[in-house]
Chains A and B, each alone.
Chain A
């Protein structure tokens, strides 16, 4: 699902069916493990995913996810939905303004990112060429990914769009690499969150099983599609999704659930 686990659509749907929001969040984050692992599998085997970028950033997202899930267990997250919606809206504007989202951002790396060996190449199936790239500003990406981890644990979503934005705009990864690597990170981040919710007794198999089966079916179709799209099409897709997400989150926070 384009770097996203689908929790964004899933959680409102579950709450509309009358399921308590915390249970919906817990089940969503469990199903996110399935979708992101399924998608990440195909991308890794196609050698698009950057495992080093993934491993480095995962250190920060899992810590964030545990913290985020704890916050949800302890409090009512309503005001945070509004803040999240506003952040998404700001990110949407930033992505819209960016004139060269697929261009090579960093020809010269900073010392820290270079030390982290965050660079690579991937095969582009549309142009049939190998694209080389260097990432940058890992010192900025890392704390931001901790924040993305909090959002993920807090709201029970993969927070793929936020992760993709950090990869794209801060670290200068090509859109395909950022989307696929975000998928890899989401699986591990969701596991950290799921553990907290499982220990709290919020994972109900009767709800989780049908949700997992349904969501996986949809995600596998999305993966087959993304590999064949151009960077431009992927960007357009995210512009639409981000706007929908922002509107949804703000409305939810303001109206209360």
Chain B
């Protein structure tokens, strides 16, 4: 009889999820899936609310990436007002985006993934966490917390609160930047650069330490999707969509993010609340694509800051002859490169005289019935799409979250790792192997509490399947 091994919840990712690994009669893996259990109905909840409330409301969807929802929502609002926001407002919004990247990436690298890397996949699970990390390298753990704090402080300074700040609004931002606060933020830069340098040193040692295992960590060809600037640089706030294939060929470029629905469809599977977005021309599931740091650093032609650009060039060499880095393990390296970029670019933005401008908001009333906002959240490209009536009341909202866009790839990663590491003939599945499966998911740093947003699709169903696909047991709730 086949067996199903369940790992639930997946530890050290944001939100709840479950992985099932199905074994066949020989104890070999026949399938593995990443299930999302948590259910939220934020899109439905926002119907009937005013457009101007949307940044404040949607930023409360998630406690980890509120600023990304805030910014994307405000951009959808800009579109509905049909305004171009002032230069200072755009620079301040860019600063906020980078602060969000920094705090989120620092959490992912230093606290969620570093315990696996520095303590080992097979180390004692009771201490394979941030406390074990503190025991092994206190300074490293402390630095990680402070780097995250720097990002959070920028968010708090700009918005008066660390989370759920309504500072960004359709048309711009509410308050200009206080010069004293600018100087305070600049004071953090030397320490932040040093800490990112430690992360960069660590990731290179990690690559050597896990050289034998890395090839099995979600190593497959897929499409890569993200924003690039007008001239092809790494982008985080605006720009065009670029789509690259697993051979490094750009198959679509300069796509308008406001027409996202022409490029991407959303499939549904009965075993997950999380939708499965795919690239329409290739259909589901062949249209699998990855977003986030791995995609962004792969698809851009350059990074505008010098230290990050130097690292990007080293990163690209990992691709060998293919021209694109296809291994999901290198999400971590890409994340470190983006942390470096964020710190460098934050310094540039703070030293730009325009950041202290007083013209920060374009005022207008409802000029369009539909608006779409798009930014690069830490985990990848994020879309907010609203329809409003003449008074600006939301009639319909659609949010396409980064984590969902990695859904097909995350499932592929789980299957690959499980198939490689679980050898039924040995008759033993160690905790360390199960942890490797979880670590495959952590590459993507999924944030599921904001991803699971579709309302009323199915009840929660837990199934136990045998090798013939017959249901051995089932639980509904």
Decide whether A and B are members of one complex. Answer: no
Interface residues of A (CB under 8 A from B): none
Residues of B within 8 A of A (CB): none
